[in-house]
Amino acid sequence: MTSPLRIAIAGLGTVGGGVLKALCERREQLAERADRRLEIVAVSARDRSKRRTVDISGIPWHGDAGALASCDADVVVELIGGEGGPALALIEAALASGKHVVTANKALLAHHGARLAAMAEAKGLALKFEAAAAGGIPIVKALRESLIAHGVRSVSGILNGTCNFILTDMEKTERSFAQVLKEAQALGYAEADPTLDVGGGDTAHKLALLASLAFGTAPDLAHMHVEGIENIAPEDIAYAREFGYRIKLLGVARRIGDGIEQRVQPAMVRANTPLGDVDGAFNAVAVDAGEAGPFFFEGRGAGEGPTASAVIADLVDIALGSFEPAFGKPAHRLVPLAPAAPALTSSAYYLRFDVLDIPGVVAEIAGHLAEAHVSIESMLQRGRNPGEPVSIVMITHDTPQIAVARALKVIATSDKVLGAPRMIPMETG
Ligand SMILES: NC(=O)c1ccc[n+]([C@@H]2O[C@H](COP(=O)([O-])OP(=O)(O)OC[C@H]3O[C@@H](n4cnc5c(N)ncnc54)[C@H](OP(=O)(O)O)[C@@H]3O)[C@@H](O)[C@H]2O)c1
C-alpha cells in the first residue's frame, strides 16, 4: 500500500459526524478500496466538549477551522456550512496551500463554485462535492463523468426532503402548510428557520450545481426563477389528486433553443410515475440524456448515512488519484449560462381562481385567457353555499408561460376575482 491519505475534517455535525464514524468503523474495507489508508489527522468544530459520534480525543483538534489549511493533511473536508464565512475562508486557504477539498456545501458552491474550481485546477487539485446535491444519490458523478456522450437535455428533480415531507404530509392529512410545518419542526424534520428549505433556496443551490454539470455552464443563481411551497393550499393538493397529479417542489433545468431554463417551483407531477411516487423525505433526479435515454435516480438526499457515503466516495477517488475538473469541463471552458428566451418556455398550467359566485365570471376569465391565446383543456367548478366564493380550476393546453402570466395579471384586477390566481405548471415529460 502507498502512504495514507491524510484527511482534515472541519465540521462534525450531521455530515461530519457521519464521515468520522464511517472512516473509523470501515477503516479496513476503505483502505482496500483506496489501496491506502484514509487517516484522520485533524478535526475542527465549534465546541470541543460536545459528545461526538466517535471518540476524537486522539485526533489533533483545532479550535480555528482555518488552521486546517496549514496542517499536514492532503485533503480538507469542509462540512461547516454557510455560503461564505469560515467555510469559504477555509476552502480558499486549503486550495491555496495545495490541499484537495471535499465539501457538501451547495450554498457556497452555487455562489463561488466556478472560481473555486478554477483555483483547484490551477494547482492540479480536486474540488469534489458529491454530497452537495441530492445527498447520497450519486448524481454529481453521473452527470460529471457518465452521461456525457450525447449531452443532457434536461435535469429535474425533487431536491429538498423537507419540502417533500411537508407536501406528502399535507396530502395524507389534508392539513394546511402552516400546520404541517409546525409539526415537522417539532419532529426535527424542518429547521427552526425553514426559509431556505420551504422558500426554494436550498433546491435552487442544488439545481445550480446540477445544471452546471449537465450543461457545462458556471453555476448561476441569477437567472433562476425560484418559488417555494408556502402558498400551496390543501385545495390545490385536492384538485391535483382529482386530475391524477401530485404537487412536488421541483428544480428543473432544461436546454431550450440556445438557452437554458432554470426554475424551482411547485409543479403538478403525474401520480403513479417514478417522480410522482417519491414520498416523504426522499430525493429524486430525472435526467434526459438524449440518445442515452431517460434516467431516474431516487434515494436519501440528507442525513448522516447518505451524506457520509457521498463524501467518502469523493475521498476514495482522491486517494486513488482519480479526479476530474470539479464541474466536468476544465474551469476556463465553463461558459456563462444563457437563459432561455421567456417566450420559449412553455407548459400546460393548472390555474385556480377564487371568485364571487355571480353570473358572467367564468365568461370574463375565459375571455381574458382567450385574448392572451391561452386555451383551456379542462375546467372544474365547485358549487358552494349561495353567496360564498367558489373556486374555478382550469387546466390549459401547452402555453408560453408569459402568455398565461399576462392573462392572470389582467384577471387579478377583476372585482369578481378574490386574491391572486394560483398558477402551477404541469410536468408532463
Ligand atoms: N445535514 C444533511 O443531511 C446535509 C445534506 C447535504 C449537504 N449538507 C451540507 O453539509 C454541510 C454541513 O451540514 P450539517 O447538517 O452537517 O451541519 P451541522 O449538523 O449544523 O454541523 C455543522 C458543524 O460545523 C461546526 N461548525 C460551525 N461553525 C464552525 C466554525 N466556525 N468552525 C469550525 N466548525 C464549525 C459545528 O460545530 P459544533 O458541532 O461544535 O457545533 C458542527 O460540528 C452544510 O453545508 C450542509 O448544507 C448537509
10 lines ligand 1 (CB under 6 A): yes
73 lines ligand 1 (CB under 6 A): no
DSSP state of 144: I
- Report CA 381 to chain centroid distance, whole Å: 35
Average pLDDT over residues 378-384: 82
Q: Specify the residue with its C-alpha closest to ligand 1, atom 15.
A: 14
Instruction: Give the pLDDT confidence of 228-257 residue by residue, as tens digits.
Output: 999 999 999 999 999 999 999 999 999 999
- CA–centroid distance, 308 to ligand 1, in Å, is 12
What pLDDT sits at residue 381? 87
Instruction: Give the pLDDT confidence of 49-95 residue by residue, as tens digits.
Output: 999 989 999 999 999 999 999 999 999 999 999 999 999 999 999 99
CA 215, CA 329: separation in Å to the nearest integer? 10
- Ligand 1 closest atom vs CA 12: 43
358 pLDDT exceeds 90? no
Reported as type and span, the H/E element at residue 43 is strand 38-44
Q: What angle do CA 187, 266, 424 make, to 5 degrees?
A: 145
Burial of 224-240, coded b for 16+ CB within 10 Å and e otherwise, reads bbbbbbeebebebbebb
- CA–centroid distance, 314 to ligand 1, in Å, is 18
- CA–centroid distance, 80 to ligand 1, in Å, is 4
389 pLDDT exceeds 70? yes
Band of residue 383 on the pLDDT scale cut at 50, 70, 90: low
Q: Specify the residue with its C-alpha closest to ligand 1, atom 17.
A: 13
- CA–centroid distance, 82 to ligand 1, in Å, is 8
What pLDDT sits at residue 1? 61
Band of residue 24 on the pLDDT scale cut at 50, 70, 90: very high
Environment class of residue 1 by beta-carbon count within 10 Å: exposed (0-12), middle (13-18) or buried (19+)? exposed
Contact 106, 205 (CB under 8 A): yes
- CA–centroid distance, 132 to ligand 1, in Å, is 12
What pLDDT sits at residue 342? 83
428 pLDDT exceeds 80? no
CA 89, CA 47: separation in Å to the nearest integer? 19
- Report CA 302 to chain centroid distance, whole Å: 11
User: Which 3 state secondary structure label does DSSP give 276?
Assistant: coil
Picking from 315, 324, 323, 322, the residue whose alpha carbon sits closest to that of residue 37 is 315
Mean pLDDT for the chain overall: 95
Largest CA distance in the chain: 82
Region of 413 (left: φ > 0; alpha: ψ -120 to 50; beta: rest) is: alpha
Contact 274, 295 (CB under 8 A): no
Contact 313, 136 (CB under 8 A): no
345 lines ligand 1 (CB under 6 A): no
What pLDDT sits at residue 53? 85
CA 221, CA 207: separation in Å to the nearest integer? 9
Environment class of residue 272 by beta-carbon count within 10 Å: exposed (0-12), middle (13-18) or buried (19+)? exposed
- Report CA 110 to chain centroid distance, whole Å: 11
47 lines ligand 1 (CB under 6 A): yes
- Ligand 1 closest atom vs CA 85: 31
2 pLDDT exceeds 90? no
What pLDDT sits at residue 276? 96
Catalytic residues: 206
Picking from 426, 109, 429, 162, the residue whose alpha carbon sits closest to that of residue 283 is 162
What pLDDT sits at residue 111? 98
Band of residue 187 on the pLDDT scale cut at 50, 70, 90: confident
Average pLDDT over residues 199-212: 98
86 lines ligand 1 (CB under 6 A): yes
What pLDDT sits at residue 363? 94
149's grid cell: 456522450
- CA–centroid distance, 240 to ligand 1, in Å, is 37
Band of residue 141 on the pLDDT scale cut at 50, 70, 90: very high
407 lines ligand 1 (CB under 6 A): no
80 lines ligand 1 (CB under 6 A): yes
Band of residue 429 on the pLDDT scale cut at 50, 70, 90: low
CA 30, CA 33: separation in Å to the nearest integer? 5
Q: Specify the residue with its C-alpha closest to ligand 1, atom 21.
A: 13
What pLDDT sits at residue 411? 97
307 lines ligand 1 (CB under 6 A): yes
Average pLDDT over residues 362-390: 88
Instruction: Give the pLDDT confidence of 164-176 residue by residue, as tens digits.
Output: 999 999 999 999 9
CA 187, CA 184: separation in Å to the nearest integer? 5
H-state helical runs in 320-411: 361-371, 401-411
83 lines ligand 1 (CB under 6 A): no
Contact 77, 128 (CB under 8 A): no
DSSP state of 275: T
- CA–centroid distance, 306 to ligand 1, in Å, is 15
User: Of all residues in the chain, what percent carry a pLDDT higher than 70?
Assistant: 98
19 lines ligand 1 (CB under 6 A): no
What CA–CA distances, in Å, run from 142 to 148, 152, 156, 309?
9, 11, 14, 15
What pLDDT sits at residue 140? 98
Task: From 79, 91, 159, 206, give the residue whose CB has the most ligand 1 atoms within 8 Å, as the site to mutate.
Answer: 79
Rg (CA), the chain: 24
